[in-house]
Amino acid sequence: MKSIEIPQNVRLGVPRIEDLFGAYAIHEPAMRSLHSYLESTGIKQHIANANARQATDQKNTTPAFTMIEGSGIAVVPIVGVMTKSGTSLSPFPGTTATRSTIRGLARADDVSAILVNIDSPGGSTKGVSDLANDIASAAKIKPVVAMIEDLGASAGYWVASQASIIVANPSAIVGSIGTYLVVEDSSEGAAQHGIKVHVLSTGFFKGAAEDGTVVTDAHLAEFQRFTDSLQELFTKAVMDGRGLDRKTVESLSTGAVWIGSHAKNMGLVDRIGDFDLALSLTEELIAHRQRRPSSVAGFGTEEMPSAGFSLPDAGMSCGGKTGKVTEMQSDMQRVDLISLKKALPNASAEFREQAVIDGLTVAEAQTRYMGALESGAIQGGGPGVPSALMPMASGGGGNARGGAADSFDGAIRELTARGMDRSKAVAKVSKECPELHRAYLLETNSGHVSRLVDSKFGV
């Protein structure tokens, strides 16, 4: 890739032009097209054209968001090459502006859900991680659905991966997971013109790859380290957003792209359909939330009243105070697709969506999933099923299990599915829910030990 010379007067006349340079997470054909355009048009002519459009009030950016009348759904477009600040090269207003939009919509009482409409090859890595984090935080407050229309690649997919559900149209190009940095060694060209360039710096890597200088193996290793560090942010985001393990995400981080249904088979999207399907799913998630309000604080802990939280089928509460919702309480009350992807990685997207629509907790969804596996209604299990999802043995020779026992085990399974050691999970549930613990012990032990259990709990 050849470099583009930008005159100093143009640099001074274009705000934030530096946003266009550095590492990119972008689908390569889009980058080549952008480069070819600038070479053929000329950067000075492009700036002149952009200024002319601005003078006639012909805006090149898309609206920050639009509301779908009567639905409470805000549609946020992410279209074109992504940069931190908006540029005349793309209709995208910039990750900074889009972050502000997402955060505002997440807090707005009159917005029930956010539908992020994506048609982007990705772009500069600047600001992308922060935008992805804001989308993930918004998804903890209210439903966030990503609709990939035609193109959701690289940084475009990075932000999409943080949504509650991803819908892609059948011909959508999805993936291009990766980060790259182009470094030129122009030393031979400089030498042919009789130019020898010296870089005086305070460190070995300061001034590396300046025009006309030799790029050494050590320089390349340092640039690779930097690029790998950026990619780690991308990898971790996809792991967290999609509920995939590191090995799977790294196997997909080849820069390759997939079409619609293939991307679904890879676990990169949840459903294949058009904008109407994305809208319908968003409306269903809103209806679920209205039936079973979410108790989460996405952009900082919120004070909220709580009558405690009831574990599934337990018929009892583990609290009753007004104040900050604890991490465990929040997780037990809230169910979203991100939580279910982590807890049920082998379940189908349709199974997880139905669990959300039915208003199940994670523990209830796990119980339903195991029941479906055992009945043969769905195929699965085997080595791929996490041990936290397998049936747990009751105390020695105990009675038939009831609601409290299932609820106690379900709470433990949920915590172990999130990576907590089983002994710590048992201790946490026992401490948070002493009444449930007592009921569990009574249900899973013979009747003659009931007095010992009552004595332990001071009854």
- What is the DSSP annotation of 350-373? HHHHHHHHTT--HHHHHHHHHHHH
Q: Which of 137-151, 326-340, 390-404, 413-427 is predicted least confidently? A: 390-404
In a domain, residue 199? The reply is no
pLDDT at res. 178: 87
CATH number at residue 240: 3.90.226.10
Over residues 162-208, the pLDDT tens digits come to: 999 999 999 999 999 988 888 889 988 989 999 998 888 898 888 88
Residue 313 in any domain: the answer is yes
The pTM (predicted TM-score) of the whole model is: 0.62
Q: Picking from 177-191, 287-301, 316-330, 347-361, which range would have the lowest pLDDT averaged per residue?
A: 316-330
Q: Does 197 reside within a domain?
A: no
Which of 79, 181, 84 lies closest to 127 in space, CA to CA? 84
Cα–Cα distances (Å) from 266 to 175, 226, 348, 362, in that order, read 10, 28, 12, 23
CA dihedral of 163, 165, 170, 172, whole degrees rounded to 10: 10
| Lowest mean pLDDT across 33-42, 175-184, 372-381, 403-412 | 372-381
Structural domain ending residue among the three candidates 291, 319, 335: 291
Find the range with the poorest average confidence among 136-145, 381-390, 402-411, 424-433. Answer: 381-390
Place of tokens 């290793």: 221
Of 347, 309, 354, nearest to 327 (Cα)? 309
The reply to whether 323 and 395 lie within a common domain is: yes
Mean pLDDT of 333-346: 67
Q: Which residues, at least 6 apart from 159, have a Cβ–Cβ distance to it below 8 Å?
A: 78, 116, 118, 128, 131, 132, 135, 146
Query: Which tens digit of pLDDT belongs to each residue from 7-31?
Result: 444 443 455 555 666 677 888 777 7
Looking at the DSSP bridge assignments, the partners of residue 66 are 75
Question: What is the spatial distance between Cα 142 and Cα 105, in angstroms, rounded to a whole number?
Answer: 10
Residue 103: what are its φ and ψ, rounded to 5°? Answer: -65, -40
Residues 128 and 232 in one domain: yes
Could you tell me the two tokens for 175?
Answer: 């993936």
Last residue of a domain, one of 240, 263, 291: 291
285 assigned to some structural domain = yes
pLDDT of the residue at 425: 78
Residues 311 and 253 in one domain: no
Number of structural domains the chain divides into:
2
Give the separation between CA 289 and CA 456, rounded to whole angstroms: 39
Choose the weakest-confidence range: 17-31, 70-84, 230-244, 376-390: 376-390
Per-residue pLDDT, 169 = 96
Maximum pairwise Cα distance, the chain: 97
More confident: 416 or 251: 251
Pick from 418, 416, 420, 394: nearest CA to 405: 394
329 band by pLDDT with thresholds 50, 70 and 90: very low
Alpha-carbon 95 to chain mean position: 15
Residues 175 and 137 in one domain: yes
Asked whether the predicted pLDDT for residue 74 surpasses 90, the reply is yes
As a dihedral over the C-alpha atoms of residue 172, residue 173, residue 179, residue 182, rounded to 10 degrees, the angle is -130
Which residues touch 262 (CB under 8 Å, ≥6 apart)? Answer: none
End-to-end C-alpha distance for the chain, whole angstroms: 77
* Same-domain pairing of 258 and 174: yes
| Of 446, 449, 443, 450, the residue nearest 401 (C-alpha) | 443
Q: Classify the C-alpha dihedral 367-372-378-382 as positive or negative.
A: positive
pLDDT of 6 over the 50 cut: no
Instruction: Give the whole-angstrom CA distance, residue 87 versus residue 94.
Output: 8
Rounded distance between C-alpha atoms, residue 316 and residue 288, angstroms: 23
Q: Which domain holds residue 272?
A: 1-191+213-291
Same domain (yes/no): 243, 327: no
68 domain residue, yes or no: yes
